[in-house]
Amino acid sequence: MKPDHQIITDIIHEGAHVLDLGCGNGELLSLLRRHKKALVQGIELDEEQMHTCVENGLTVLQGDIESGLADYPDQSFDYVILNQIMQEIKKADYVIQESLRLGHKVIVGFPNFAHLSARWTLFFSGKTPINEALPYYWFETPNIRFLTISDFIDYCKKKNIHIEQRYYLGKKGRISFLPNLFAQNAIFVLTK
């Protein structure tokens, strides 16, 4: 199991009602259904990925999360998951606010663009970083924004969003010392 998926699975309580925004091929939804007996649902923009989910017996709608969440009633999910998509969406604030409206808790996971290896590559080679957390060349990346742990914490303070839990991941496990420098990925649990 991927480290971020393991942490998210540990966070979700048994039988929870979960919405995964940008669920990809449904790998995380399948894990949550199997290990936590969660009632899972996803939204995915990519038609091929959505079909993969449906073929695997998952309830996934094809849609754009940046415009298609208004039909869901307030607090209709225990958890809304935004894992590894924050760097790929244009209306990040809108999606986070809508997620907080829809779910009692929101789980946000993203690659940390301020990781030491990214800084090192940019500083010494003058090139866009490519590493385990950021595996794409600049011309093929789905990322449209650069997000750091410090940026996200500042955003939450500014928007009065409570960070209930935080997890920082490095190559070999969790990071506790200087996460904005040493963590490749971050996972936050948010509430209003």
C-alpha closest to that of 184 among 142, 132, 136 = 132
pTM score:
0.90
Contact 102, 76 (CB under 8 A): yes
Distance CA(109)–CA(131), nearest Å, equals 17
What pLDDT, on a 0 to 100 scale, did the predictor assign at position 101?
Answer: 97
What pLDDT, on a 0 to 100 scale, did the predictor assign at position 134?
Answer: 65
CATH 3.90.180.10 fits 3-112+143-191, yes or no: no
Matching residue, tokens 């997620």: 99
SS3 per residue for the chain: CCHHHHHHHHHCCCCCEEEEECCCCCHHHHHHHHHHCCEEEEEECCHHHHHHHHHCCCCEEECCCCCCCCCCCCCCEEEEEEECCHHHCCCHHHHHHHHHHHEEEEEEEEECCCCHHHHHHHHHHCCCCCCCCCCCCCCCCCCCCCCCHHHHHHHHHHCCCEEEEEEEEECCEECCCCHHHHCCEEEEEEEC
Backbone angles phi, psi at 131, to 5 degrees: -150, -170
What pLDDT, on a 0 to 100 scale, did the predictor assign at position 145?
Answer: 77
The partner residues of 110 in beta bridges, in order of sequence, read 186
Mutual orientation of helices 3-11 and 27-36 as an angle, nearest 10°? Answer: 40
What pLDDT, on a 0 to 100 scale, did the predictor assign at position 87?
Answer: 86
Sequence-distant (6+) residues with CB within 8 A of 2 are 27
What pLDDT, on a 0 to 100 scale, did the predictor assign at position 51?
Answer: 94
Instruction: List the pLDDT tens digit at each of the 192 positions of the chain.
Output: 899 999 999 999 999 999 999 999 999 999 999 999 999 999 999 999 999 999 999 999 999 998 878 889 999 999 999 999 998 898 999 999 999 999 999 999 999 988 887 777 777 777 776 766 566 666 776 666 788 999 999 999 999 999 999 999 998 899 999 999 999 999 999 999
What pLDDT, on a 0 to 100 scale, did the predictor assign at position 75?
Answer: 96
What pLDDT, on a 0 to 100 scale, did the predictor assign at position 133?
Answer: 59
The partner residues of 19 in beta bridges, in order of sequence, read 41, 80
What pLDDT, on a 0 to 100 scale, did the predictor assign at position 116?
Answer: 83
